[in-house]
Chain A
Amino acid sequence: DQQVKQNSPSLSVQEGRISILNCDYTNSMFDYFLWYKKYPAEGPTFLISISSIKDKNEDGRFTVFLNKSAKHLSLHIVPSQPGDSAVYFCAALSSNTGKLIFGQGTTLQVKP
């Protein structure tokens, strides 16, 4: 029962272009969503989050979009940089439980 899904295991983009990472969820009780970035052999680093009362949140080069009707969120990175190459996890939670449910991750490669 995969409540949070990242259907693309990998993504490759050219430096300077936009990276779009996608995430779908099934549980309508989720009301808070987060994106994490992870380098090999390190713990995930929190990137950006969004509450279900919003449809967009922006922080520098990172923007998260939430489409509640489609149960879909995406992370846009503009412009992409080689240092952005990492595994990106989306996560969701219901404020009732406070437990984060993670997707499987998408490996982003940004080519110079």
Chain B
Amino acid sequence: DTAVSQTPKYLVTQMGNDKSIKCEQNLGHDTMYWYKQDSKKFLKIMFSYNNKELIINETVPNRFSPKSPDKAHLNLHINSLELGDSAVYFCASSQRGLDEKLFFGSGTQLSVL
């Protein structure tokens, strides 16, 4: 059973396109996250949702719009893709108040051409 699953695993697209990445967790956690990992493996938080409410929004261009239809899902929509958006995007979840361990998905490698 996959705890945190995200799709697609690979995404290759042209500059200017709009794309979405989906994430689902079956751990019953109340908090979900999107992290971006650059080519140097640096991991940086982008967004965090707790029970469908946005609680962390780092300095991310407004071309990135997360959406959480329920606490088990957190999708990421990206408008007008740019070359610099190429990275690996990780979804993660945790249960606040229990411990802060994040459980990560396997990542979506986005390549913008």
Q: Do A and B come from one complex?
A: no
